[in-house]
Amino acid sequence: MPVEWAGLGPELLVTIDRSSGTGLRTQLEEALRAAIRTGRLAGNDKLPSSRELAQLTGLSRGLVQDCYAQLQAEGYLTSRPGSATRVAPGAATRPGPPPRRPSAPAPPSVADFRTGVPDLGLVPREDWAWAVREACRTMPDAAFDYGDPSGQRRLREVLAAYLTRVRATATTPGHVIVCAGMAQALSLILPVLRADGVHTLAVEDPGPGSSTAQQASAAGLRVRPVPVDEHGLRPGALGDARAVLVTPAHQWPTGVVLSGPRRQELIAWARERDGIIIEDDYDAEFRYDRDPVGSLQGLAPDRVISLGTVSKSLAPAIRLGWIVAPERWLPAIAHAKHLADRGSPGIDQLALAALLESGRYDRHLRRVRAEYAARRETLVRALARHAPRLPVTGLAAGFHAVLTLPDGTDEARLIQRARARGVGLYGMSGMYRGTGASSPRLVLGFGDTGRRAIEAGIEAVADLLDAP
């Protein structure tokens, strides 16, 4: 049972529980830190001598002395020979947060149509655990060293073969750099392009979030929004940009596919301008109406940097992605990766290689693709039943759809009213960086929203969707 001890007034209250499993010295240190942090012990307050506190708490004097020494080293206490131990003047000036007013209870959650996240319940935990064990079992001792910053050779070989087979890329293991996902890929690439004389990065409009603009700004690049229509990005509006970031397989967020003529036009622009195309291939493996559209990189390996990740196919927590870079920029990007972190986690890289080689990765994709296809159909049926007049687009791939609302709809107000009913909706207007949205639209994610929730969520806001 805990025993409370008071010494030198009520401000010093120490609870020692010998049955808690936590060390006695640790308990004493934490109690004194808490008293100082919350202001119960003020600056310059005198503490009991080690002998007195040992008697008060039933602890050994040596333990109390060790505790005082530790807190002195951390800056909480001060002590001089022949003088009492006191609270350091600057350590007790940390008032606790003001009391929070009770807020109204949140409505029960019916559905959240957030985007960009796969179903975290479908993560292949057993397959990943198997792959990690297999990697640890078969790794040679040398593989536990830092290794090549560009990535484990085995994973780069497996990725090159996989991307050639599945995404129609034209690459070799030597042109693949393993990184920690899309954000790190851009943080490595953009400064390299700036050093190569690129001043402006063109982005699709609507397109990536503010984090991409922040990364570009940090690299010294201006951002130029370029309009997107039903055929994808319009190369004729690229202006003086020499680099462009595109999502050709499934444009984010409109869902359109960059057409064949636009692809050729974009590549011609890159050759004429000595430009570079950064291809974000974020969810191309999830295609429902036909085979996935091939990578843009396969058409112009010398002018396209292709980026991929397992954040959508496996889970965001597995921080692995890849860069397929042309020879011209390859050494500089590889050097930037070396400076950034000396390489991504080697065991995880070899686990991903094992998953790909074993066929378990492909089997997982088939399973989740079937589930997402079923959710897609559920969403289409629910919208046809409850909002039949509203066009639904962007459904060819990925796990989000676009719903065009009636003209005059206040997008922000609709989202607010839906939230009050426990339904999370997300508008497209905030995803524009240039002229702005031409019509109110919602981006409905179904990656992490189950079929029952989809039906219930659309039903709950049906009257809001079809009324301006």
Residue 387 confidence (pLDDT): 93
Residue 312 tokens read as: 């959508």
Residue 24: domain span: 3-87
Residue 13 confidence (pLDDT): 62
Position 94 in a domain: no
Position 102 in a domain: no
Q: Show which of 310, 336, 362 is a domain's final residue.
A: 362
Q: What is the pLDDT of residues 320-379, one digit of tens each?
A: 999 999 999 999 999 999 999 999 999 999 999 999 999 999 999 999 999 999 999 999
> Does 202 share its domain with 273?
yes
Position 105 in a domain: no
Residue 54, sorted as left (phi over 0), alpha (psi -120 to 50) or beta, turns out to be: alpha
> Does 328 share its domain with 425?
no
> Does 440 share its domain with 335?
no
> Does 459 share its domain with 331?
no
> Does 211 share its domain with 171?
yes
DSSP string across 184-226: HHHHHHHHHHHHTT--EEEEEES---HHHHHHHHHTT-EEEEE
Position 93 in a domain: no
> Does 208 share its domain with 174?
yes
Which CATH number do you get for residue 356?
3.40.640.10
> Does 358 share its domain with 376?
no
Which CATH number do you get for residue 50?
1.10.10.10
> Does 269 share its domain with 318?
yes
What burial class does residue 387 get, using C-beta atoms within 10 Å of its C-beta: 0-12 exposed, 13-18 middle, 19+ buried?
buried
Position 220 in a domain: yes
Alpha helices by DSSP H, listed for 97-152, are 125-138
Residue 20 three-state SS:
coil
> Does 32 share its domain with 148?
no
Position 397 in a domain: yes
Residue 468 confidence (pLDDT): 62
> Does 294 share its domain with 318?
yes
Residues 6+ apart with CB under 8 A from 331: none
Residue 145 tokens read as: 């060293």
Residue 80 confidence (pLDDT): 81
Quote the crossing angle between the two packed helices 330-341 and 182-195, to the nearest 10°: 120
Q: Which of 250, 209, 202, 248 shows the shortest CA–CA distance to 227?
A: 202
> Does 166 share its domain with 265?
yes
The neighbour count for residue 210, using CB atoms within 10 Å, is: 10
Q: Show which of 362, 392, 414 is a domain's final residue.
A: 362
Which sign, positive or negative, has the C-alpha torsion 146, 148, 149, 152? negative
Q: Show which of 87, 103, 132 is a domain's final residue.
A: 87
Q: What is the pLDDT of residues 153-203, one digit of tens each?
A: 999 999 999 999 999 999 999 999 999 999 999 999 999 999 999 999 999
| pTM of the entire predicted model | 0.80
Position 50 in a domain: yes
DSSP string across 27-59: HHHHHHHHHHHTTSS-TTPBPPPHHHHHHHHT-
> Does 12 share its domain with 128?
no
Which CATH number do you get for residue 413?
3.90.1150.10
Residue 393 three-state SS:
strand
Let me know: does 437 contact 92? Beta carbons within 8 Å: no
Position 106 in a domain: no
Tokens 């004389």 map to which residue?
197
Q: Which residues of the chain have pLDDT under 70?
A: 1-13, 92-108, 289-291, 435-437, 468
- Three-state DSSP string of 57-102: HCCCHHHHHHHHHHHHHHCCEECCCCCCCEECCCCCCCCCCCCCCC
- What does the longest C-alpha to C-alpha distance in the chain come to? 86
The neighbour count for residue 429, using CB atoms within 10 Å, is: 15
Q: Please give the tally of structural domains in the chain.
A: 3
| Type of residue numbered 150 | S
